[in-house]
Amino acid sequence: MVGINVLKTDTLIFQSETNMRTTDEQHSAKMSKMLKGRKIDSCRYMTREEADDMGWYKRPLIIFFTDGGYLMLQCDDEGNDGGAALFEYPSKQNKYEVIYTL
């Protein structure tokens, strides 16, 4: 296996492709457990007031689940602004829709 060197400020970290794949699998399992089986109750775009409270310019779609949880799209891991997503129609080959921000 080929290794990848990642340089962080004062530490050299070595990760093999195997370790990276394991990390991907761990995160995939965590997200799958969090989302699998949940039922969507409703969707709506974030209000201007909610976006202002978050310090965001873009207003993303929020997906609400029947158990009270929700999924809010953001542009990056740090939540710097609202974000978009891509939806693929399962029954139509190469048919996609962008879930855009307002």
Token pair in block for residue 101: 């921000």
pLDDT in tens, 50-84: 999 999 999 999 999 999 999 999 999 899 999 99
How far is Cα 77 from Cα 74, in angstroms, rounded to an integer? 8
Per-residue pLDDT at 20 exceeds 70: no
Does 7 lie in the same domain as 54?
no
Per-residue pLDDT at 9 exceeds 50: no
User: pLDDT value at position 23?
Assistant: 84
How far is Cα 34 from Cα 56, in angstroms, rounded to an integer? 25
Does 48 lie in the same domain as 11?
no
Does 81 lie in the same domain as 98?
yes
Number of folded domains in the chain? Answer: 2
Does 41 lie in the same domain as 9?
no
Mark 63-79 as b/e (b = at least 16 C-beta within 10 Å): beeeeeeebebbeeeee
Token pair in block for residue 27: 């995160």
Mean pLDDT (whole number) for 89-97: 86
Q: How large a percentage of the chain has pLDDT more than 70? A: 79
Does 41 lie in the same domain as 28?
no
What is the residue range of 79's domain? 37-102
Distance of CA 41 to the CA centre of its chain: 19
